[in-house]
Amino acid sequence: MPEKVGVAVVGVGFVGGAAHVPSFKKIEGSNLIALCARTETRVKPLAEKYEVKYVLDYDKLLDDPKLDAVVLSVPTPLHFDSAMKALRKGKHVLCEMPIAPRIEQVRELQRVADKAGVILMPVLNFRFAPIYLKIKEMIKAGAIGKPIAIHFREFIPTKGLAEQWPVGSWAWDIEKSGGYPDFTLSVWSLDMFRWMFESEIRDVEWMVNYPPIAMYGGIFGYNTMGVIKFANGIVGSLHYGASATPSAAISRLEVYGDNTNVLHAINVDKILLYGDQEKPQEFTVEVKGTKVWGHRQLDEHFIDCILNKKKPQVTAEDGIKAQEIAQKIVEHIK
Ligand SMILES: NC(=O)c1ccc[n+]([C@@H]2O[C@H](COP(=O)([O-])OP(=O)(O)OC[C@H]3O[C@@H](n4cnc5c(N)ncnc54)[C@H](O)[C@@H]3O)[C@@H](O)[C@H]2O)c1
């Protein structure tokens, strides 16, 4: 393997164009050799901006001798075939989540990756996000004693959902995507909880409400609530929502400890530690751009694993674990 990994980002939309392309352009061990898309619309200006070539033919891209790894940020229905082709050509694959709509497909890809001796790694970036790393570090340092309960709320604005995944898009087709957007968008935090509390989610019960929001073309402003129990006894309640105006969008994790202290992580930058003092201690996490949600750090880790023949910290098996819990939401869709 040369000093740099030849990388191509395939799919340059919401996450590929905004997160993976700028990340791989900057990462030291990465040589971003191409962007790949189906049409020129988004890829041409992006390729000009980052001074990299673009290709519209994925099969041709895979024949490029400079290519060592692909980053698949195409829509989920294309993941399985795209990953399979790349793995069969001996390319490492960093794949957006869910790796494939069905778990048996993910296992099949892992078998092919193992046979080819290459990495298949999922983009489970929340566990690389500085705010959650800080919360985990504070818990390890004893800030709340032993964690006993969590509450998590993630509300995305209906407007944003309608722009990214409008009615009729692949994300609302269970066959193509594995479930509605609440299924897809829950996997990152479900993985983060397993990582943070170092325990499996043993039980989950979901309740769902899919109200059509007329002002956004009848898109479902999902309200999906879960009650979970980890193998180590921690209990939790989760609320994934998409029926709010942009100013009400929030991501908030609360962790309760057995020394009666409480930690809150609000959005990506604010941590509150409720202890003995009248007011909580406040901490600010200062991070910008593609590092905020951990994309850049995860992309760096992918390159490091290839260059230094390391086993990734996050594996397809982690993807499967998160997907198993998320899939139980789908059972409620009628
Ligand atoms: N990790 C995260 O933070 C995160 C966030 C959102 C979405 N996602 C995941 O990323 C994936 C993509 O979602 P998105 O919202 O970015 O989608 P998107 O629709 O915004 O972008 C997809 C891109 O793929 C391109 N494309 C479509 N068909 C193609 C083909 N045959 N060959 C090459 N390119 C093709 C499209 O032109 C577009 O540029 C999904 O699996 C989704 O679940 C991850």
Tokens representing 213 are: 């929001």
Q: Which ligand 1 atom lies nearest to the CA of residue 41? A: 37
> How much is the average pLDDT of 154-183?
95
122 lines ligand 1 (CB under 6 A): no
User: Strand 69-72 and strand 120-122: pairing?
Assistant: unpaired
Measuring CA to CA, how many Å separate 34 from each of 54, 56, 183, 189, 246?
Answer: 5, 10, 31, 31, 35
42 lines ligand 1 (CB under 6 A): yes
Question: Residues 20, 299: contact at Cβ < 8 Å?
Answer: yes
Question: Residues 184, 14: contact at Cβ < 8 Å?
Answer: no
Triad 26, 190, 254: Cα angle to 5°? 95
70 lines ligand 1 (CB under 6 A): no
Q: What is the pLDDT of residues 287-326, one digit of tens each?
A: 999 999 999 999 999 999 999 999 999 999 999 999 999 9
Question: Residues 101, 323: contact at Cβ < 8 Å?
Answer: no
75 lines ligand 1 (CB under 6 A): yes
Give the model's confidence band at 1: pLDDT under 50 very low, under 70 low, under 90 confident, else very high: low
Four-point Cα dihedral 50, 53, 55, 59, nearest 10: -110
> How much is the average pLDDT of 142-167?
97
The confidence score (pLDDT) of residue 305 equals 98
Question: For the chain, which domains are there?
Answer: 5-122 (3.40.50.720), 126-293+322-330 (3.30.360.10)
Tokens representing 281 are: 């201690």
The closest residue, in CA terms, to atom 38 on ligand 1 is 13
35 lines ligand 1 (CB under 6 A): no
Expressed in angstroms and rounded, the spacing between residue 172 Cα and the centre of ligand 1 is: 14
Question: Residues 58, 27: contact at Cβ < 8 Å?
Answer: no
Alpha-carbon distance of 198 to 215, in angstroms, equals 42
82 lines ligand 1 (CB under 6 A): no
Q: Which ligand 1 atom lies nearest to the CA of residue 124? A: 1
Q: What is the pLDDT of residues 176-232, one digit of tens each?
A: 999 999 999 999 999 999 999 999 999 999 999 999 999 999 999 999 999 999 999
Q: Which ligand 1 atom lies nearest to the CA of residue 72? A: 11
User: Strand 235-244 and strand 223-230: pairing?
Assistant: antiparallel
Expressed in angstroms and rounded, the spacing between residue 78 Cα and the centre of ligand 1 is: 9
Q: What is the pLDDT of residues 18-72, one digit of tens each?
A: 999 999 999 999 999 999 999 999 999 999 999 999 999 999 999 999 999 999 9
Q: What is the pLDDT of residues 247-296, one digit of tens each?
A: 999 999 999 999 999 999 999 999 999 999 999 999 999 999 999 999 99
Alpha-carbon distance of 67 to 61, in angstroms, equals 8
The closest residue, in CA terms, to atom 41 on ligand 1 is 76
10 lines ligand 1 (CB under 6 A): yes
Expressed in angstroms and rounded, the spacing between residue 267 Cα and the centre of ligand 1 is: 23
Does 2 score more than 80 pLDDT?
A: no
- What residues contact 308, with CB distance under 8 A and at least 6 apart? none
Give the model's confidence band at 334: pLDDT under 50 very low, under 70 low, under 90 confident, else very high: confident
Expressed in angstroms and rounded, the spacing between residue 202 Cα and the centre of ligand 1 is: 31
Look-up of token digits 């057995």: 258
Expressed in angstroms and rounded, the spacing between residue 334 Cα and the centre of ligand 1 is: 26
Q: What is the pLDDT of residues 116-147, one digit of tens each?
A: 999 999 999 999 999 999 999 999 999 999 99
For a substitution probing ligand 1, which of 59, 96, 156, 292 has the most ligand atoms within 8 Å of its CB? 96
Question: DSSP character for 125?
Answer: G
The closest residue, in CA terms, to atom 34 on ligand 1 is 37
Residue 65: count other Cβ atoms within 10 Å of its Cβ.
6
